[in-house]
Structure 1
Amino acid sequence: MTERKVRVALLFGGRSGEHAISAATAAGVLKAIDRDRYDVVPVGITREGRWVVASDDPALWELRSDRLPEVTAAAGSEVVLATSADGPQLQVLEAGAVPEVLGQVDVVFPVLHGPFGEDGTVQGLLELADVRYVGSGVLASAVGMDKHYMKLVFAAHGLPVGPYVVVSPRDWSQRREDVLTRVKALQPPLFVKPARAGSSLGVTRVDDLADLERAVEDAQVHDPKVLIEEGVEGREIECAVLGGHGDAAPRASVVGEIVVQTEGEFYDFEAKYIEDDTARLDIPADVPDAVSERVRELAVLAFEAVGAEGIARVDTFVQADGTVVLNEINTMPGFTPISMYPKLWEASGVPYPELIDELIQLALERRTGLR
C-alpha cells in the first residue's frame, strides 16, 4: 500500500497591504516544493478575508512590473477549515450543496505577511483547529509584528535597540504638541513607520521636522499606531534564523547586507520587489568575522527573546565602530526565491527546496497548544 503524501495547505494573500508579496511568496513555494513528498493545496485569502480554492499555477501569483497578483472571490470555491474525528479538514462550500471534503490537512504553510496573517491572528485560528503550521505561535507572531512591543521585549532581555517614540492615535489627536516635543529629542534623520506593517509600506524618511506630520499621517494609512525611530548610522546587516529540531538551538545563517545604491534613498517597497537597480544584496556581507558572529549571536538571542519558532529574519545596523544595534525581527520574512531569507540560507548550504522541506518538517514535529 502506497503511503499517503503529507498534505500541505499553502495559505496566502490576506487582508494586509502585503497581499501581493504573500502571493509572490506562494508562487515561489509552489514552484520549488517537492511534489513527490507533499500534496499541496493552495488556499488564497481575499482582501475581504474569504478563503478560496486557489490555482496551483505559480505564474498567476508572480510579481510583475505591470501587475501585482491578487486573490479574488472569483479565484475558486469558498473554503473552510473544519475539525473532524480524523483531524483538521479543508471543506469546499457551494451554495445549496453539502460541504465537500477537500482533504485532511497535515500542516498549514501560512506565507502571509502583515496584519491578519503574520500577527498571531491566523496562528490562533490554527491552534483552535488543532492543526500544525509553519512558523511562530500566537505570542511570538504578535510581538514580532508590533515594533513597539518588539523593542520592549528586546530591551527587557538586554538587547540593543535604537531610540524611538511611539505615537498612539489618541496621542496624535489629543497630545500632538507633546509628541512633537518628544520627537525633538531624536537625532535626524528620522524614520516614520506603521507599528504593525512590513515590506516598508508607509515608511518615510524625515530629514526636516516640518515634514513630520505628513509622514505620520502617511503611516497611519496602514496602521493607527506609528513608530518614529532615530536613524541609526550604520550598515544594514541581516541574518536568517531557522529553528532547531527537538531541543536543539536555533541556527543562524551567514549574514547579508542590503546596499542601497541610490544616494538619499532607503530600502522601500519598490526597491525590495519592483525596481532592480535601487539596492543590491551582498551575501555573505563583507564584514569582519567578529561583526558577523555578533550579528549571528544577536539574531538567535532576538529569536529566543520573542519565543519565535521555525523561521525568522533578524535585521540589524552595524555602526562604524562595530557596534551592532537590533532593528527588528520578521517572523514570516519575505520568502520569494530572490528574498533575503532564502538567499542567506542558500549561501549557508541550504537551497530553497530543501529549506521549504526543513520548515515543513519542523512544523510537523511541533505539537499545537502550550509548548
Structure 2
Amino acid sequence: MSIAVMSRLFKAQIGSPSRKILAIRLGDFADDEGRGIWPTVGRLANETELSERTVQRLLKEFVDEGLLIVVAEGGGRPGQATRYDFDMMKLEALVRGKTVSNGCHHVTGDTMTPVTPDAGTGDTDDIDGCHHVTQTVIEPLNKPSLERGRASELENKENRKANERAFKKAYQQWPTFVTDSEPKAFKAWMRLSADEQQQAFEGLGRYLEASKVSGRSKFCTFAVYLSEKRWEKLPAPAQVAANAPAQVQAAPFGKMWGARVYELLLAGATHVGQLTALERKMVDAGQFTVEYLLADKHVKLGFPAVNDLFERASNRRGDLVPAYLQPVAGRMVAVKVGGDLWQAWIDAHAARGWPWLPNTGTLEYVYLPEGGPDVLNELQALLRGIEK
C-alpha cells in the first residue's frame, strides 16, 4: 500500500464515485511511485462491488485518458492480470484540478465553464462555478497578441509532450525504473540539451551491458545516470563485447530462474526506503508504526531485480541469466505449491524481509533450493565460490 499515492487519489477529481473507488483501490496496490499494479478484474470487482464489465470499462478509460500506463498485457488466462502503473504527472494534474476526467459538460480535461450571453459568469447553478472553478468573464483582448500567445502555448505543449514521450521510452528501459523517482528523473532529463538526451538514450544499452560485464549487481537511479552523464564514461564497444559473460535463457519458475532469484536475494537489498513526510504524519497519528512502513518499503523497493523476475514469471516470461549459475541450478528441486515446504519458504521470506512469489496460476511445482530454508547459508557459500 502506498499512502502517498492514496493521498493524491483522495484529493484528485476522478469524475464519478465509481471511478473514484476503483482508482483508490488500484492505488492501494501501488508502490510510492504509483507502480506495480496487477490485481485481476475479478478481484477488483469483488472488492469495489462494481460489475466486472464496469471495472473493465473504467480501466480502459483510465488507460485512454493517460492516468494508467499498461506495462505488461495479461495473458487472458486465470491469474494472468495486466500490469499497470499510474502516470504520476497525470495524477498530480488531477490533484491540482487542471484536468478532469469526463470533465465538466462532458469535455475531457476542460475545467473552464463555457460562457454565453445568457450566462456571462459561468455556471450559476453551482455556487462555486463548474466543479469549484470560479466564475469566469471573457474580456476583449488584442486579437493578434492572443493568436501569437496561443500559437506559442501550443508549440510549448507539443514540445513538452515530445520530451515526455522520449523520456518514457528511455526511462522504462532502466532496470530500476520500478522503484526510481520518475519526477526526479524527468527533471534531470529536462536539464539536458536535445543532443545530450539523444546521446543518453543511445548510450543506455551500452552502459547497462558494461555494468554487467564489470560484475555489478546494483545500478544507480536513472536520474543519477542522466545528471552525471555516465554514458560519456563508457568503454569502447569492442572491449565490452570481448569481456561479456555468457548468458542462458531461464524458464519462469525453473531451475536457472530459481538460482538467479536466490543469488539476488542473498546479495542483499539494493535500496533502503525512507519514510516520506506524509508517512511520518501517519506514524505520529498512530495509524502505522515506523517498523511496519519500513518493512513494507523493504519488500517492495529493496529488491527491484527480484521483483522484475517475479513479474516476468507471473506473465510466463523467462529471462536471460548468467551461465555461471548452472552449479546453483543443480541445487534446485521442485517444490509443491501449497505444501508444507512451500509454507516454510513463505515464512522464511517473511522473516528475512524478502519478497515472495507472485501468483503461480495453475502451476503445481516451482523450483526452489533443495533442503528448504535451512540450506541458505550453504547456498550463499556456494555462490561466493563460483568463478564469474
TM-score, with structure 1 as normaliser: 0.29
Higher RCO (C-alpha 8 Å, min separation 6): 1
Q: TM-score if structure 2 supplies the norm length?
A: 0.28
Q: Relative to total residues, which structure has the larger helix share, 1 or 2? A: 2
